[in-house]
Structure 1
Amino acid sequence: MAESNHATQVAARTLFTDLTGREPDGLWSAPGRVNLIGEHTDYNDGFVLPFAIPHRTVAAVGRREDGKGRVRVASTFAAEPVEVALDDLDEIFPTATGREPAVPEWAAYPLGVAWALRQTGLVGSGVDIAIASDVPVGAGLSSSAAIEGAAASALNDLWNADLDRTALARIGRRAENEAVGAPTGIMDQMASMLGEPDAAIFLDCRSLEAQLVPVGIAEAGLAILVIDTRVKHAHSTGGYGERRASCELGASIMGVAALRDVSVDDLPRAQELMDDITFRRVRHIVTENQRVLDTVEVLRTEGARAIGDLLVASHVSMRDDFEISVPELDTAVEAALAAGALGARMTGGGFGGAAIALVEQDAVASVSDAVNAAFAASGFSEPHIFTVTPSAGAHRDA
């Protein structure tokens, strides 16, 4: 991935110089993430176990030389830049009224970060931001958090905010929730900010306490395969919000602040109190929280080879109880397992996106071939399959 990251840096720098006629003040980048296990638990104050991936978003950023308090954002995946006055950001993101942001969605992420930083009392000078990325978009690998992390890291430096990584993750989440209007938790932003090589981040989404857990994938002779189904998803649309509402209803019925406070032993009582759909949504969250805790324990005591069954159980729960899988994701998981994967599950918010499979290093090609064949036999478009390793979080590149 070093070559593609370099290419992304060059693309961001070139876009900046084409836009402004000068060199940027610096390059900042942040990674996408894969969630090893713990899906939809984050906004329920629960536990997650993501890791940062080598794929990164790069922001080339420079202070404006015209002295105007304006921010201009450009991206290699958009035809035209977007420019607004910093003082107008409150008008652009009128989320309290329920209106859509008055800018294209791609621009709402970096502009939302600027807005969220200003909500903390920062004034900030005008900037130009040029973005390039090799994080697959719509694949459930958190391309949005990568944009937020890169932009937040840059503005943190250029505006002398002096915020730590956890505070910047909060800024990214506020941008996504309140500016973009996507009701996500904080897992993606924390993974993008805090990632370290060969480690997953065991995150308590209530306290934001984070522990690095060595995963030892390569050491065990294994690889993590990402199977991007190319079925696009969008968090800011229907299904994600409906699942979140079901979780809030379930917590209310149980008389707790969040489903984090419901244990597996509480599920029989929950079933008596709830309709079937609400109960199944709740059961997924409660059992998924336990699976995260179990996975951390197994990684620490037995190693990566022993987590396969937990990954499979997670997928079954998302497929049957939370109902966020799609046929392409189920096909990816089933084909990978049939071809010898130790474990596999969909990853990310669901309704499309990617699956992951834990495979022997020498079986990457054969498992990939099996998944491609299964997709072809089902009449699905060819998936994008690649390996990832736990990688570094957000930082300044140059």
Structure 2
Amino acid sequence: MSISDSQEHAARVAALREKFTKTFGHHPEGIWRAPGRVNLIGEHTDYNMGYVLPFTIDKNALVAIRRKSQLEPESTTLHFASTYGQADSLPITSITIDELVPRAVPGWAAYPAAVVWVLNQLEGVELSGFELLVDSDVPVGSGLSSSHALEVGTIVALNDLYDLGLSLTEMAQLTQRAENEFVGAPTGIMDQSASLMSQAQHALFLDCRSMQAQNVPLPLAENDAVVLVIDTRVEHSHVDGGYAARRRSCEEACEVLKVDALREVSDVAQLEGIEDPVIKRRAKHIVTENQRVLDTVEVLREGNLNAVGEHLYQSHVSMRDDYEISSEELDAAVEAAMGAGAIGARMTGGGFGGSAIALIHRDQVEPVSQAVLEAFEQAGYVQPNIFAVVADEGAGRA
């Protein structure tokens, strides 16, 4: 059953509708849902035109919207509010559509504003002002794509309300452009695609060059297994310098190798022409990670979770040693989970904080969680937030 069919989800939708009316004095025209995601494997391969294998989770952003008529005051003004913090009176960020320029909107409101900005650049599209209220249970800064869930919820809503006729691929590409050019984060296209294209109980095998996508069965229930998320509560941001630096390293590797993208390199031996040892390590991660995605898809189709687990851990070692995007907390989470009997574990997301995941048998939830909590306590780290997730449906009406 999808989370959207649950009583808990229905209660959230009803509460958001009521909060919208209290905040803006009008009922919303509709409420849309966009899930966060866990990347099972395939990290930093998306902007290298490679392969990724994410799945969407049962945590999502709900976006309620009402368009303004031309007769209303401030008919070209956007009003953004969020239930984050759960205050009775919600702060509202207001900006006119004419004022939308890259880097002009502070904080979380930059994400829905970016979507408006990019849509208004399409031929024949002219959005009016509107009121937006978001309620999200995707942990912020956890590496589960809370920002992309907000962007996707916004673009799906506006696509429906304005009858824009955009395909899932077009919406993914537009939100990537919004993120890159308006927000200023040099992200790839995986997160948006996962939120838009995924199916329940499947992982999304995406070729980031051709944008061909296949939903591959994720046989967790059949194997009495779950994916445990370990949110280290060390927040990360794609706007910060580490992510951009890794992308530049890949671009420099491409210049040396005279290829358009590292996707075109299939063998680590081809990297011998790179003299800079750091750039060579960065490129090595991308080349080996692309292969791990392909191998994981193959063993998933065979239902071999043990082999999946091996690839997950190899991926973490590569991100820790070659791409150098892990952290002490992420390493501690992965090693504690593996030591407690996890089938496999790795950090997930952009790195420099965020979350790790552990593929475990259902009866291991308590011992693996306890092992991680003890490891963090002994190291003096902030207590992590640990929870199981299931593969849920992609974005749509709530």
Q: Is this a same-fold pair by TM over 0.5?
A: yes
Aligned partner of 2:96 in structure 1 is 85
Query: Is 1:35 aligned to residue 46 of structure 2?
Result: no
Alpha-carbon RMSD across the aligned residues, in angstroms, is: 1.4
Letter of the structure 1 residue corresponding to residue 107 of structure 2: E
Letter of the structure 2 residue corresponding to residue 106 of structure 1: W
Letter of the structure 2 residue corresponding to residue 303 of structure 1: N
Residue among 70, 75, 80 paired with 1:73: 80
Contact 1:44–1:247 (CA<8 Å) still a contact in 2? yes
Contact 1:253–1:274 (CA<8 Å) still a contact in 2? no
Runs of 4+ aligned structure 1 residues displaced above 4 Å come to none
Residue among 7, 13, 19 paired with 2:23: 19
Aligned partner of 1:283 in structure 2 is 284
Letter of the structure 2 residue corresponding to residue 74 of structure 1: A
Equivalent residue runs for 1:81-160 within 5 Å: 81-89=92-100, 92-93=101-102, 101-121=103-123, 122-160=125-163
Contact 2:62–2:135 (CA<8 Å) still a contact in 1? yes
Contact 1:139–1:229 (CA<8 Å) still a contact in 2? yes
Residue among 61, 77, 80 paired with 2:65: 61
Q: Secondary structure at the match of 2:228?
A: strand
Gaps of 5+ in 2: none
Aligned partner of 1:97 in structure 2 is none
Residue among 234, 240, 243 paired with 1:240: 243
Q: Write the distance in 1 (CA, Å) between the matches of 2:110 and 2:9.
A: 24
Query: Is 1:225 aligned to residue 228 of structure 2?
Result: yes
Counting matched residue pairs gives 386
Aligned partner of 1:195 in structure 2 is 198
Identity between Structure 1 and Structure 2 (%): 52
Q: Write the distance in 2 (CA, Å) between the matches of 1:181 and 1:139.
A: 19
Contact 2:202–2:216 (CA<8 Å) still a contact in 1? yes
Q: Write the distance in 2 (CA, Å) between the matches of 1:335 and 1:4.
A: 32
**Cα deviation digits, residues 239-297 of structure 1 (max 9, x gap):** 00000000000011100000000112xx2342343210000000000000000000001
Q: Secondary structure at the match of 1:141?
A: coil
- The worse-fitting range, judged by mean Cα deviation, of 120-129 and 308-317 is 120-129
Contact 2:105–2:113 (CA<8 Å) still a contact in 1? no
Contact 1:220–1:305 (CA<8 Å) still a contact in 2? no
**Cα deviation digits, residues 102-151 of structure 1 (max 9, x gap):** 22220010010011111112102221111110000000000011001110
Query: Is 1:216 aligned to residue 219 of structure 2?
Result: yes
Q: Name the TM-score, length of structure 1 as normaliser.
A: 0.94
**Cα deviation digits, residues 70-92 of structure 1 (max 9, x gap):** 22111112752112222332xx3
Aligned partner of 1:98 in structure 2 is none
Aligned partner of 2:50 in structure 1 is 46
- The worse-fitting range, judged by mean Cα deviation, of 233-242 and 155-164 is 155-164
Q: Write the distance in 2 (CA, Å) between the matches of 1:358 and 1:156.
A: 36
Query: Is 1:274 aligned to residue 281 of structure 2?
Result: no
Contact 2:219–2:303 (CA<8 Å) still a contact in 1? no
**Cα deviation digits, residues 291-330 of structure 1 (max 9, x gap):** 0000001111243333111000000000000000000000
Equivalent residue runs for 1:236-385 within 5 Å: 236-264=239-267, 267-385=268-386
Q: Write the distance in 1 (CA, Å) between the matches of 2:164 and 2:43.
A: 32
Q: Write the distance in 1 (CA, Å) between the matches of 2:167 and 2:269.
A: 42
Q: Secondary structure at the match of 1:307?
A: helix
Q: Write the distance in 1 (CA, Å) between the matches of 2:295 and 2:376.
A: 32
Q: Secondary structure at the match of 2:345?
A: strand
Contact 2:285–2:318 (CA<8 Å) still a contact in 1? yes
Query: Is 1:9 aligned to residue 20 of structure 2?
Result: no
Contact 1:8–1:134 (CA<8 Å) still a contact in 2? no
Q: Secondary structure at the match of 2:206?
A: strand
Letter of the structure 2 residue corresponding to residue 108 of structure 1: A
